[in-house]
Structure 1
Amino acid sequence: MYIVIIGGGRIGYYLTKTLLNEGHEVVIVEKEAPLVETLNNEFGSVCVQGDGCELATLIKVGTERADMFIAVTGEDPDNLVSCQIAKHRFNVKRTVARIRNPINEPLFKKLGVDVIVSGTNVILEYIQDEVPTHSLTHLLDIEEGEAIVVIKIPENAETIGQPIRNLEISDDNKLLLVINADRKNRIPTKNTIIKAGDRIIATTTRDKEEDLRRSLTGLE
């Protein structure tokens, strides 16, 4: 998928990192030159300096071919305006906007923004529902060497029907939350049964991510 992100701050940064790791094509629009330089130094030439509310900028980044348009600046009016341009000028099918003030949500809905969210993880969850993903999704780094990941249990997982206590999970990993196929959340215990479609949110170290995936799915 080709995804345009407006806003290169903390949320834009983590979204870009995750989406690039998933193999998507991403471009970021950011006003501030220092942020543009930082993003391009880390991710390559993915960030364009400009105003996401300006038509010329959105033409420059190829918004007409975008599959998804995500506005995550710190300003609700900017996010609304840029999504409106993407939707009505470029016919982007999916627009996602961050809001900081909940009082603005009815207006965003009335003006046709497809998804209105207020945090990084909610945006990522929406994207993961919309597009095919690998069984392990790296969400973000929380400190040196440690990360938060989501592992989806596929239909062919060998661990389905087993309690967590039967799985070989190292002490480096901590299971935080299980989201089942019906989007119901529960805190995992040793007696929690693994089910197809579960998404398990966990902390782990970067070098142990694949080990954790294998432990939870039983698959290589």
Structure 2
Amino acid sequence: MYIIVGGGGDVGYYLTRYLLQQGHETLLLEKETGRFQTLEEELGQSVLRGDACEARTMEEAGARRADVVIAVTGEDEDNLVICQTAKKRFNVSRTIARLNNPKHEELFQKLGIDVTVSPTKSILSLIESELPGQRFVLLMNLKRAGLEIAQITVSSLSPVVGKALNQINLPRSSNLALVIRDDKPIVPSGDIVIQANDEIYALVNREGEEELRNTFGTA
């Protein structure tokens, strides 16, 4: 597999080094002369000096035969340009973009970027899951399926406590996949009765997220 990485910061460097160790043909693009020289000392011919936002640099990098282009600069606008250039001009089948601002995620998806990775969003989810009293935490976004995985901790005041699952009006776009009770996993069936302090893992799309929060009283 041939992979082009745009952006020679720490993320780009460590990603390139890892991909090379895994046996993938990988080329890192970096436009700043000083940074390029440092990277070249470490990575040799696996780094090319040039601006990944420019088509001529991508041409020189051999983007027409690339299987994947990954944009990991510190600027979302640059990452968008890199991925769109790769996809529209060089017909790269798979593009991955680093998102520094999670608010840009929907825009990137609408513009055809295959995968977005938001370190900020991931860190926020981890922090939320550790905060006391946090009852609804989004753990993961399954982009291809258009679904999110949510963790719900049922409060003693939740309107669903004491109700069987088949008595609860769940959003049509949601599915309860797992219940953790007293540290034991339970595959939910229609007759399971929800109890306070149950941890529920649910699949839900974005449109159904608010309704699911309201159902469990976590809004």
TM-score for the superposition, normalised by structure 2:
0.54
Measured against aligned partners, the alpha-carbon deviations of 1:74-131 in whole angstroms (never above 9, x if no partner) come to 00000001100101111111100001111111110000000000249x8xxxxxxxxx
Query: Contact (CA 8 Å) 2:48, 2:61: kept in 1 or not?
Result: yes
Alignment of 1:21 onto 2:21 = yes
Measured against aligned partners, the alpha-carbon deviations of 1:178-218 in whole angstroms (never above 9, x if no partner) come to xxxxxx9xxxxxxxxxxxxxxxxxxxxxxxxxxxxxxxxxx
Alignment of 1:48 onto 2:48 = yes
User: Which structure has the greater CA radius of gyration?
Assistant: 2
SS at match of 1:41: helix
Higher RCO by CA contacts (8 Å cutoff, separation 6 or greater): 1
Q: Which amino acid counterpart does residue 104 of structure 1 have in structure 2?
A: H
Q: Which amino acid counterpart does residue 31 of structure 2 have in structure 1?
A: K
Supply the RMSD in Å over aligned alpha carbons: 1.7
Q: Which amino acid counterpart does residue 102 of structure 2 have in structure 1?
A: P
Q: Note the C-alpha offset of 1:25.
A: 0.6
Quick one: distance in 2 between partners of 1:23 and 1:69?
Answer: 16
Query: Contact (CA 8 Å) 2:95, 2:113: kept in 1 or not?
Result: yes
- For 1:113, the equivalent position in structure 2 comes to 113
- Find runs of 4+ consecutive structure 1 residues off by over 2 angstroms: none
Q: Which amino acid counterpart does residue 63 of structure 1 have in structure 2?
A: A
SS at match of 1:69: strand
Alignment of 1:57 onto 2:57 = yes
Q: Percent identity?
A: 56
Query: Contact (CA 8 Å) 2:69, 2:92: kept in 1 or not?
Result: yes
Quick one: distance in 2 between partners of 1:94 and 1:73?
Answer: 17
Q: Note the C-alpha offset of 1:57.
A: 0.6
Query: Contact (CA 8 Å) 2:100, 2:119: kept in 1 or not?
Result: no
Quick one: distance in 2 between partners of 1:118 and 1:99?
Answer: 5
Which structure 2 residue ranges, 5 or more long, are not aligned? Answer: 123-177, 179-219
Q: Which amino acid counterpart does residue 86 of structure 1 have in structure 2?
A: A
Q: Which amino acid counterpart does residue 29 of structure 1 have in structure 2?
A: L
SS at match of 1:23: coil
SS at match of 1:48: strand
Q: Note the C-alpha offset of 1:36.
A: 0.9
SS at match of 2:26: strand
Q: Which amino acid counterpart does residue 9 of structure 1 have in structure 2?
A: G
Q: Which amino acid counterpart does residue 65 of structure 1 have in structure 2?
A: R
SS at match of 1:116: strand
SS at match of 1:45: helix
